[in-house]
Amino acid sequence: MGTRIDGIKLRHVYKIFGSEPAAYVERVKAGMTKTELLAHNHVLGLRDISMDIPGGAIQVVMGLSGSGKSTLIRHINRLIEPTAGEVLVDDVAVVKMTPTELREFRRTRTAMVFQKFGLLPHWTVLDNTMFGLKVRGTAPAERRDTAMRWIERVGLKGFEEKYPNQLSGGMQQRVGLARALANDAPILLMDEAFSALDPLIRVDMQTVLLDLQTEIRKTIVFITHDLDEALRLGDHIAILRDGALVQKGTAQDIVMTPADDYVASFVKEVNRGRVILVESVMTAIGAGLVASDSLPRVAAKDPIELASKVMSDAGAGQAVACCEAGRPVGMVTMRDVINTMTTPAAYPSIARLAAAEPIADVA
């Protein structure tokens, strides 16, 4: 098990909730809006979702509540059937699977972590962690060994015999994570997995996940409504609004070039210094640009916040972005960094001050 997958593809997926969804799908394709559809007592869940989720990376899908993100993730393991469209995992159509094939797919290819944990309250932590393996029919001894390994890995050693009710929310979700990882499925679906946790615990769990991912390299689809979480975890981010995809890209793409006002309003409050990398503000080394050994050095993949710290500590106005095959790749200046880190629109006082009367000499 644990075989890699090449990726997940969604092709023109539509989901309409209601008594006769099929009757409305053509009209939605022809441009009927969510509000118009609602007048017919049907709810538009997803509209024409096409995306490629690459294998071995974390794909974040974010949006506000009601944007269809939880509906979207449930299409991947077909907890929800699409009204139209295709879901392909390694080019196998999930929608066309028979019930038996689907069960087998869910048992061996996917694992899921839920916002409300979804643990069995009458089972201990150990039993809960073994759940997927039990369903799959793994031998009891192997089940136990695997489960114990993951319980330890998520930091719950010593809690094996506790019931979920005896644990805090953060610990319960560690059980949820251990249960998913014990399954060793190549696809990990996380539906607002950390949203119910306190902010500090949430950051803690994000760290746990990122640490684990460096070693397990699973294809993770992570749903969240929290932009900071999305930017921190996502190798790739997709933004949903009213059931439609509004933007796909890396964290930097989203922050630096928001596709529309909706996305822009999301990223307005983001700490850009931590998201934007040196490589996107540096000037590439070329003719006329010579790196000096006396300048401080930063990595091209460092966030610019770090670069500003390095430069100000060194008292330098610029730094060398280092290094590819031992050669510097670019130069970054304090001026560029600060300009990129601040969003001028957020500070109207800048314009006001600039327009003010000339400053009188101070005696």
Partner 1 sequence: MEWFTTFPTMDNERLTALKKAIDEGFRNFTRAYGESFEIAFEPLKIFMIWVERLMTTTPWPIILVGILAIAWLASRSLKIVVGAALALFAIGYFGMWDDTMKTIAMIVVATLTALVIGIPLGVVMSFSKRMRSVVMPILDVMQTMPSFVYLIPVVMLLGIGKVPGLIAVVIYALPPVIRLTDLGIRLVDRDVIEAADAYGSSRWQRLANVQLPLALPTIMAGVNQTIMMALSMVVVASMIGVQGLGQPVLKAIANQYFTLGVFNGFAIVGIAIIFDRVSQEFGRRLQKHREIVHGH
Binding site for partner 1 (CB under 8 A): 77, 79, 102-108, 110-112, 114, 116-122, 131-132, 134-136, 163, 165-168, 183, 189
Cβ proximity to partner 1, 107 vs 217, nearer residue: 107
Cβ proximity to partner 1, 71 vs 318, nearer residue: 71
Q: How far is the CB of 77 from partner 1 (least distance, A)?
A: 6
Cβ proximity to partner 1, 183 vs 340, nearer residue: 183
Q: Given its phi and psi angles, is residue 92 left (phi above 0), alpha (psi -120 to 50 degrees) or beta?
A: beta
Q: Going along 252-300, which residue ranges are E strands?
A: 283-284, 297-299
Only one residue has tokens 């921190």, namely 232
Q: How far is the CB of 161 from partner 1 (least distance, A)?
A: 11
Residue 224 is classified by DSSP as: E
Beta strands 58-62 and 236-241 are parallel
d(CA 58, CA 220): 5
Cβ proximity to partner 1, 137 vs 348, nearer residue: 137
d(CA 74, CA 69): 9
Cβ proximity to partner 1, 166 vs 257, nearer residue: 166
Cβ proximity to partner 1, 168 vs 271, nearer residue: 168
User: Which tokens belong to 46?
Assistant: 């997803």
Q: How far is the CB of 245 from partner 1 (least distance, A)?
A: 24
The SS3 assignment for 57 reads coil
Q: How far is the CB of 251 from partner 1 (least distance, A)?
A: 28
User: Which tokens belong to 68?
Assistant: 């269809």
Q: How far is the CB of 168 from partner 1 (least distance, A)?
A: 6
Cβ proximity to partner 1, 79 vs 299, nearer residue: 79
Cβ proximity to partner 1, 12 vs 116, nearer residue: 116
Cβ proximity to partner 1, 110 vs 340, nearer residue: 110
Q: How far is the CB of 18 from partner 1 (least distance, A)?
A: 18
Q: How far is the CB of 106 from partner 1 (least distance, A)?
A: 4
The SS3 assignment for 276 reads coil
Q: How far is the CB of 309 from partner 1 (least distance, A)?
A: 40
**Residue 59: phi, psi to the nearest 5?**
-100, 115
Q: How far is the CB of 218 from partner 1 (least distance, A)?
A: 16
DSSP letters for 328-355: --EEEEHHHHHHHHS-GGG-THHHHHHT
- The dihedral sign for the CA sequence 16, 244, 250, 273: negative
Bridge partner residues of 106 (DSSP): none
Burial of residue 319, with CB atoms counted within 10 A of its CB: 0-12 exposed, 13-18 middle, 19 or more buried: buried
d(CA 170, CA 182): 18
d(CA 245, CA 292): 45
Q: Going along 119-182, which residue ranges are E strands?
A: none
Task: Please give the span between the terminal C-alpha atoms of the chain, in angstroms, as a whole number.
Answer: 79
d(CA 193, CA 208): 13
